[in-house]
Chain A
Amino acid sequence: MNAIRRHLAGYLFISPWLAGFAVFTLLPFVASFFLGFCRYNVVTPPVWVGTANYEELLRDPLFWRSLANTLIYAGVAVPLGMAAGVGLALLLNAEIRGMAVYRTVFFLPHIVPVVATSVVFVWILNPDIGLVNSLLRLAGIRGPAWLADPNWAMTSLIFMSLWAVGGSMVIYLAGLKDIPVALYEAAVVDGAGIWARTRHITLPMLSPVIFFNLVMGVIHSFQYFTQAYIMTQGGPQDATLFYALYLFYRAWRYLDMGYASAMAWVLFVLIMLVTAALFRTHKRWVYDAA
């Protein structure tokens, strides 16, 4: 009796999402899966072609290039972003005056319109008069052409992604505020110094939020698109052709929606595999009081 009631309660609580999923999400999902097996130019009805799209994918050098670019980006930007986010949040959790102002400032890049941030970035990375190269010139180094150099364009975009770390920082802050002060007090009584407190209290108690940002970081970085679309359009020489960008081109520029759907589902499988692997490590390091 009790078990049934609990099951029922569970389903009742998640019913809003279940209903929404059934109505708004399920059909488009299934439709896009079906489209991956079709030739579809957005306008005329789709035509079944079996696994032809998937076979083409394997043959397509741009598919592999964009996949490699995206994996490199995810592999570097996610750990960097997490380290920066946690570090920044720890700094911003200190009780010093003006903290509200600091936190707002660090969140600014997240909310300033893209038109302003992209112009500023293009300036910062300007080969001749930009901030970065000017600083390098002081050290006697001739900086590269950053966004215009195929070898450095990816690095430039990763560098840019660190800028927007304010988003995850806010989430960490919320998590930090949740840690009961009593724990720290007890640790101080036991004679723990600042690093010990951080290592044994802060980080473990923050681990659920760190895990959240890790998974979301993976999911988002695999679908990284906007900055490349605005600033480099995949160039120079396909150095910044990300998977989601190539997908967008195939879908809306070349009107090859069937192929794009196949690409999307390949990415989906990839993301789910990585996420599943991450969840398998969940028990080992994520604090769970439930």
Chain B
Amino acid sequence: MPREVQTVRSGWRRRAAAIAAGVLAAGLALLLAAVCAAPGPRRRAHPDRIPVHFWHMWTADWKAVVERIVAEFNASQTRYEVIPLSVPSASADSKFLLAVAGGAPPDLMAQWNQVIPAWADSGLLMELDQFMTPEEWTRFQAEVYPVALKIGRYKGHLYGLCTAVSIWACYYRPDHFREAGLDPDAFPETLEGLWAIGRTLERRAEDGRLVRMGFLPQWLNMYAPIFGGGFWDEAASRAVVDTPANLRALAFLAECRKALGFNEVVRFESSLNQGQGGNVDWPFISGRYSIVVDGQWRVEQLARNAPDLEYRAAPIPPPTGGKRHAGWSNGNFMIIPKGAAHPEGAWEFAKFWAGWGDPARAAEFCTWGGWLPLWPPVAEAPAYRAFLAKHPAFGTFLDVLPSENIVPSPPVPYQVFLNDQIGRVDDYAMRGTKTPEAALRGGQAELNAELARRRRFGL
């Protein structure tokens, strides 16, 4: 039989229980109100038009920009309605792949990850050149910026239409220059010169801790092309890791770190605490770096978050014997998955955004996002010129954009794996755990092992 239950309740506990019950009731009432007040499922603004489902990874302020562009497109024609969906980047790839594998893909996706070769090879993407006439395709290949083409083209077909290209250059603080007795107008012409200036601008605490970094060259991916190297052997059509030029680049980076002290640099970097989405607390603003290499999107951010900060931009100077206006690049591009319900509408929207058709219109969009365009007519449009006048530092990036020495990651299906290996080479060399030679050899060995593995699997 059920045992006796002896409850211990005194006067004040009963009152407390009553209060708790009251709070719960209030909460339920609130819930009911929320349920009634909340809007129902999203209704189409133009139910009679052909829907184009567009997935993207932009959130916060950027999402507002995307929605503006979508609104402009929907207003500019009456055939299609673009329906945007913001999918946070952490899960976007999985959601996209699952949707395609499950037979329910979107019509268009805006991507910036290294996915084109892998996904194109798997038969996941539609060739975009099929939407162009042969003359248009020839014109496209001739007129767009070289790097935009390199990013989007794979095995002779276009799989990604670039709406924006990312370029890296040096940002520097004229006030730091002046304080050290240097002329901010005379930015060094060689990488070695830049390094020397960096050492002059460096500041340390009494115990040797780095307090301000003058200039720290880092990221093998970026510097390999600057030293005349790279990871793609065009002639042999294969990816490489261990080459003499790459070794020169890595050795330079490692030497710089060693001069500063490996551990000191590690501690300095990790103390900058750049957390999730925390790019707005950029250490450049707080003067922890005097000279830093970063992308063109910082210009817009600086204008918004630190409008009174004095700064300048200049291309990364090559070392003696290196390549001018070189570096690594990536971009935002549009892909259309196989199995999309309305690919023509997707293509129309992608074209509209990128400006392949109406460059003047697209120039406006680029100014909203602080983006570098797909091809020169967009950059020459009045809206873009006005933007450049407002943000002169942006001009530096635009100057570097047409260079042939700007290269994306190699067009191989195991691009992501390759990038991860390059990252590991970097990691080991930058901590002094391995010599640059050993690190590169290790990276090449990993690449070879993976290639052998792919061969064994018949890939």
Contacts and interface: CB of A to CB of B under 8 A. Distances in A.
Given A118-B275, A126-B271, A236-B427, A255 B266 contact: no
Interface residues of A, number: 34
B94 A252 contact: yes
Scoring B119, B123, B271, B453 by chain A CB atoms within 10 A of each residue's CB, the highest score goes to B271
B458 A236 contact: no
B311 interface: no
A39 B458 contact: yes
B100 A148 contact: no
Given A235-B427, A255-B122, A52 B457 contact: yes
A122 B124 contact: no
A44 B427 contact: no
Interface in B74-98: 93-94, 97
A147 B276 CA distance: 15
A128 B271 contact: yes
A150 to B, nearest CB: 8
Interface in A72-129: 115, 118-119, 122-123, 126-129
B271 A39 contact: no
A122 B275 contact: yes
A127 to B, nearest CB: 4
B68 interface: no
A145 B275 contact: no
Interface in A34-65: 39, 41-44, 47, 49, 52, 56
B138 to A, nearest CB: 30
A177 interface: no
Contact of B416 (A42, A128, A253): A253
A56 B119 CA distance: 23
Interface residues of B, number: 36
A126 B123 CA distance: 45
B49 interface: no
A13 interface: no
A252 B93 contact: yes
Contact of B271 (A129, A149, A230, A238): A129
Contact of B267 (A56, A122, A127): A127
A237 interface: yes
Contact of A254 (B101, B119, B266, B414): B414
B122 A147 contact: no
B413 to A, nearest CB: 9
Contacts of B271: 126-129
B131 interface: no
Contacts of B278: 119
Interface in B392-440: 414, 416-417, 420, 424, 427-428, 431, 433
B133 interface: no
Given A119-B276, A145-B266, A236 B414 contact: no
Contacts of B65: none
A42 B209 contact: no
Contacts of B263: 145
B427 A255 contact: no
B136 interface: no
B270 interface: yes
Contacts of A43: 97, 100-101, 119, 122-124
A166 to B, nearest CB: 21
Interface in A125-174: 126-129, 145-150
The list of the 9 closest CB pairs from A to B, nearest first, reads: A148-B270, A128-B271, A127-B267, A43-B122, A119-B275, A43-B124, A41-B122, A42-B97, A39-B457
Given A43-B97, A236-B431, 4 more contacts: A43-B101, A235-B427, A252-B97, A254-B416
7 contacts: A119-B276, A126-B271, A145-B267, A145-B270, A150-B431, A253-B416, A254-B417
Interface of A: 39, 41-44, 47, 49, 52, 56, 115, 118-119, 122-123, 126-129, 145-150, 230, 235-238, 249, 252-255
